[in-house]
Amino acid sequence: MKTKLILLIIITLGFGQIVGLAADEPPVPVRTVPPVFPEDLRRDGISGVVTVSILIDEKGNVQEPKVVKTTHEAFSQPAMDALAKWKFKPAKQGGEAVAMRVNIPIQFTHKG
């Protein structure tokens, strides 16, 4: 029997949390990379969520990833590694690109 492994990544910032001042236009992900599901947790059927705070700079690059909350520490590094490879259309304020800090939840779900 094959194990179905599903990684649910909540990439819509509507499900995330903007930290600090709101912008006229929030950042929008244009390239996402799924995290690597830790093999030992996959094998044990463990699911979880990691919330990572990131700064999206004026060019849409991810800076300063920091775990805010996690259900299992082994999910933290894969979530941060994946988010470091994401690219965003930056937030805009008054028509100008601005840096913005957001919290992104990354959900690891294993169904077998």
Domain count, the chain: 1
φ, ψ (nearest 5 deg) of residue 84: -60, -20
**22: its two tokens:** 């709101």
Q: pLDDT higher for 11 or 48?
A: 48
pTM, full prediction: 0.80
List, for residues 55-94, the tens digit of each pLDDT value.
999 999 999 999 999 999 999 999 999 999 999 999 999 9
Residue 59: give the domain boundaries.
5-110
What lies within 8 Å, CB to CB, of 67 at 6+ separation is 50, 51, 52, 53, 76, 79, 80
DSSP 77: H
When pLDDT is cut at 50, 70 and 90, the band that residue 52 belongs to is very high
List, for residues 25-41, the tens digit of each pLDDT value.
999 999 999 999 999 99
Burial of 30 (0-12, 13-18, 19+ CB in 10 A): exposed
**55: its two tokens:** 């700064």
Residue 2 has pLDDT above 60, yes or no: no
Q: pLDDT higher for 14 or 33?
A: 33
Whichever domain contains 81, its CATH number is 3.30.2420.10
Residue 5 has pLDDT above 60, yes or no: no
Q: pLDDT higher for 8 or 112?
A: 112
